[in-house]
Every structure is written in C-alpha cells, then in structure tokens.
Amino acid sequence: MRFEGDASSDVLIKLPVVGGSDDNNSILDWLESPDSNEALLGSDKYILRKDGLWDCYQPPVDWFGLQLNPVFVHQIDRSNIKKNNKVSINIVDGRTDIKNPDSASSVIQQVMQQCSFEGFNLLTFERNARSWTLSSDLSLTLSVPLPPFVPLPPGFNTIGSGIIGLTCQTRARDNLLSVKESYLNWAAAQVANKS
C-alpha cells in the first residue's frame, strides 16, 4: 500500500547588502557551501555517513494512533545549482522507529518497521530586483508492505495519503522558513566578518 503526498511553498528573501553590493553573500554562494547543509536537510539531528549521504532524524508523525519517528537517508544534489538555480534533497532510503511500541500490537510494529520512504525536496531560487524568491516542491511516499487479504476500512488509503499530504504542507513551509532564517544569519555573519 502506498500513501503519497506533495506540497509546494515559496518565500521571499530580501537581499542583504555588504559594502554597497549584494554579490558577495548571495543565496547561491550559501547554497553551494556546507554552511547550508543543516537547513537543506530539514533537521538539526543528522549524521554524515562515510558514503557522503546523511542520516536525518525527522520530527515525529502521528499515524493512526502511533507516533512514527522517520529516519531518512538524504543526498544533497547541487549539480544543477548554477545552471538551473536548483538544489535537490533526495530521500534515498529510510526507516521508521515507533515511539512507545508497547502501545501497538506486534503485527503493526513489524509492518511499520518494514515500511519505506521515497521523496525529494526540490528548492529553486529566482532573483528579483531586490530579493530572492525561494520555492520548495516537496514529495513524499510511504510504502507499507501489507500481507495479502488484510481487511482495511473504506477510505484507509485516502486518509493515509491525506496525513502524508498535510505533513508535506507543514514540512515544505517550515523548511523554507528555516532555510530563509539560516541564509539571513549566514549573510549577517558575512557582513560582520567584513566590518
């Protein structure tokens, strides 16, 4: 069974100015640097693996009475940043930990621990006269392996996809606000370092 959701959001970022020019602290410079990793990953709990991928511990998700704690394996793809003003954060693997597993039956626990995630967050940015427009297109799919002939209530798939969709809306907006704040903090530090 697959539960799918997606969302789009955008935010306006005013250009900070250093010494009369904003070219020295552009969002492009920040997105290319490792200083943007935490904001791009969307989590303050992450571990860089030896293979260059990131284990990212996501905020919990309420799922039919259970609290799921997803851990996504992310890849930050900056290959299109200069050509197309895009950065993609891809989920290449994932797992789900269940908080308070005693509250769920062992069958539900086993099924949820075998579920998998796919998705991406595509960030695009466009320069305007005195600002940047930063946009996010976020997509997430949760695949849950169910044994054949498991009786499910009517609308179960629709409800599950609705939960994923609402989660995507919240995460897309919250992540963009975090990216904006992180970028502005970085730009302010650039100003302070030049003073």
pLDDT in tens, 31-74: 999 999 999 998 889 999 999 999 999 878 776 677 778 888 99
Residues 6+ apart with CB under 8 A from 83: none
pLDDT higher than 60, residue 127:
yes
Residue 168's CB is within 10 A of a number of other CB atoms, namely 23
Helix (H, G, I), strand (E, B) or coil at 5: strand
User: For residue 46, how far is the Cα from the chain centroid?
Assistant: 12
Q: Using an 8 Å Cβ cutoff, are 6 and 12 in contact? A: no
Q: Between 188 and 74, whose confidence is greater?
A: 74
